[in-house]
Amino acid sequence: MQPSLREDYLEAIQQFSEKNGHSPHFAELAVILGKPESVVRSDMEDLVSSGDASIFPGGVITLTGQGKQTGESVIKKHETLQCFLSEILGMDTIAASDEACTLEHTVSDETIDRLGQLIVKRDGPRQHHWNGKGKEKGAAPCAVEDYDCECPSISDCAEGENVIIHCIHGRACAKRLLDLGMVPGERASIKRKLSNGALVVQVKGCDVALSPEIASAIGVERSS
């Protein structure tokens, strides 16, 4: 079963129970989700085997502790997301009317679209590899970030050059670099470069030594 489908079910069951004070039947659930009862029945079997729900005689569905927890979490997640989207929608509309800028309208349209999806289809965002889950699995700490760019890396620059930092690939490595002030837009100068590509970079008045592989993850623009 798809994680997002599982979340949809758990959310629907939990929401029904909170609203009506009792657990839903197959038929009720099928109406809420807008699916044929036969599909709901077969999906519920998956949820029972994954330990999220149990089915009582008469087709009454109750959530287990685990299922209830996930359901509550999904509800909270969607509430927050809805709240967030409405807030930025407000901000964006103000910005748009102030500047009468069509670009802002498209941003707003996108937001309205997302908000609409969320409310109407009750379709939460797909599970993306966020929440630091990659780290738990021992995934590569220097994995290249989704938002790639094609600027030269700081390791292509020579000793004595001045640069403006453009982007940093890789999340885990990026953290310490960000803390040391290597954020996009920051000016830096290369104080020392060894033949293997190790660098001493001066940023915010501090000298920072970098390994070649770290340096190659920092995208820059050359400046005078």
Stretch that binds another protein, among 16-24, 53-61, 97-105, 174-182 (CB under 8 A): 174-182
Nearer to another protein, 28 or 78 (CB): 78
Residue 91 to residues 87, 107, 124, Cα–Cα distance (Å): 6, 11, 22
DSSP assignment string, 86-154: HHHHHHHHHHHHHHT-HHHHHHHHHHHHHHHIIIII--PPP--S-TTHHHHTT--TTPPPSS---PPBG
Which residues are within 8 A (CB) of 143 and not within 5 positions of it... i.e. 6 or more apart?
A: 134, 170, 171
Which residues are within 8 A (CB) of 37 and not within 5 positions of it... i.e. 6 or more apart?
A: 26, 27, 30
Stretch that binds another protein, among 13-21, 27-35, 59-67, 145-153 (CB under 8 A): 145-153
Q: Are 92 and 108 in contact (CB under 8 A)?
A: yes
Candidates 49, 97, 211, 223; binder of another protein (CB under 8 A) is: 211
Per-residue contact string for residues 97-126; x = within reach of another protein by CB under 8 A: ----------x------x---------xx-
Candidates 27, 31, 91, 144; binder of another protein (CB under 8 A) is: 91
Site for another protein contains 188 (CB under 8 A): no
Taking the complex as a whole, the smallest distance from the CB of residue 58 to another protein amounts, in Å, to 32
Let me know how many helices (H) and strands (E) the chain has, helices first. Answer: 8, 7
Site for another protein contains 66 (CB under 8 A): no
Binding site for another protein (CB under 8 A): 69, 72-74, 76-81, 83-85, 87-88, 91, 107, 114, 124-125, 128, 130-132, 135, 138, 140-142, 145-147, 168, 171-181, 183-186, 191-192, 194-196, 198, 200, 204-214
